[in-house]
Amino acid sequence: MLGPGLIGGSLLKAVRKYSPSIELRAWARREEAVEELRASGSADFASTGIAEVVAGADLAILCMPVGAMADAVSDFPEASPGERLLVTDVGSVKQSVVNSVESIVQKKGGSFIGSHPMAGSEKSGMEFAEAELFQEAPVILTPGNSDGETLSQVSALTDFWESLGSRVSRMSPPEHDELVASVSHLPHVVAAVLVNTILGARSNAGQYAGGGFRDTTRIAGGHAGMWTGILMENREAVLGQLNAFSSELEKWKEAIGKLDTDELRSFLTRASSLREDS
């Protein structure tokens, strides 16, 4: 487990709880983080040296920003004969991870299958980590573009996530990136634009807001640096979704502007029933 943030820290806790026989080795960039890992006993072994953490492991999980992954796997040791390291990640985009990581992993004698656990919150950091984070969470594996992996590795990785309570599905990296642009990146941008529109114009508006405003904008509290990376890595799919959203919004504005009550009601009814059935 490489990188003890919210997801990495939660993985340590979840594996300890649900698969206690697995030996947990953890890497962190900062010495203080390593000392915390040691003091808390969250991992059986912890170090700032990637090579010694990964040596001899069956599975390495990259829990760091997508932009840092290529450097991390470059520091992996070469596999010894007979060893077969499986590398996965927990990043929110997949095609760019495959592009930057897969060939390096394969050169080291390992194989790469992307994972995206759709868990987390607007919080970040190990202090919010919890063993139950992955319960009922959708996890998407993207084995499509990887030549090296075998069916048994896909199935082992599926078992790993299912042991933590997740619901696993599989698709290609581009399919994944389109899907998350829609269900995750678009809502994030919309929530943040909403906050800047409402609170930017009237910073005390929140005191008059009911639960609707608070729920709708909760994810806008997410980590700005991390989200900048995610949105830029997936910018084409994200722009496509933002344009689709804008077109839909224009139809609503037109209906309201024209006092077309029937049309507005049909839009609202559609939203209400789509959401109910989802």
Tokens 């592009």, residue?
99
State in angstroms the smallest separation of the CB of 175 from a second copy: 11
Residues in the interface with a second copy (CB under 8 A) total 87
Q: Which of 190, 243, 246 is nearest to 218 (CA)?
A: 190
Tokens 């990495």, residue?
8
Given a contact cutoff of 8 angstroms between Cβ atoms, the answer to whether 148 and 112 are in contact is yes
Confirm or reject binding of residue 21 to a second copy (CB under 8 A).
no
Strands (E), the chain: 25-27, 45-47, 59-62, 86-89, 111-112, 114-117, 138-142, 167-170
Residue 246 structure tokens: 């804008």
Residues 211-230 that bind a second copy (CB under 8 A): 211-213, 215-225, 227-228
Tokens 């959401």, residue?
275
Confirm or reject binding of residue 127 to a second copy (CB under 8 A).
no
Confirm or reject binding of residue 208 to a second copy (CB under 8 A).
yes
State in angstroms the smallest separation of the CB of 146 from a second copy: 21
Confirm or reject binding of residue 274 to a second copy (CB under 8 A).
yes
Confirm or reject binding of residue 120 to a second copy (CB under 8 A).
yes
Q: Which stretch binds a second copy (CB under 8 A): 22-30, 36-44, 101-109, 208-216?
A: 208-216
Confirm or reject binding of residue 272 to a second copy (CB under 8 A).
yes
Given a contact cutoff of 8 angstroms between Cβ atoms, the answer to whether 191 and 220 are in contact is yes
For residues 160 and 142, what is the distance between their CA atoms, to the nearest angstrom?
15
- Measured from the CB atom, the residue of 148 and 187 that comes closer to a second copy is 187
Q: Which stretch binds a second copy (CB under 8 A): 13-21, 106-114, 158-166, 262-270?
A: 262-270
State in angstroms the smallest separation of the CB of 230 from a second copy: 10
Residue 208 structure tokens: 């008059």
Confirm or reject binding of residue 242 to a second copy (CB under 8 A).
yes
Confirm or reject binding of residue 199 to a second copy (CB under 8 A).
yes
Q: Which of 150, 143, 75 is nearest to 105 (CA)?
A: 75
Given a contact cutoff of 8 angstroms between Cβ atoms, the answer to whether 102 and 112 are in contact is yes
Q: Which stretch binds a second copy (CB under 8 A): 32-40, 43-51, 105-113, 204-212?
A: 204-212
State in angstroms the smallest separation of the CB of 37 from a second copy: 26
Confirm or reject binding of residue 137 to a second copy (CB under 8 A).
yes
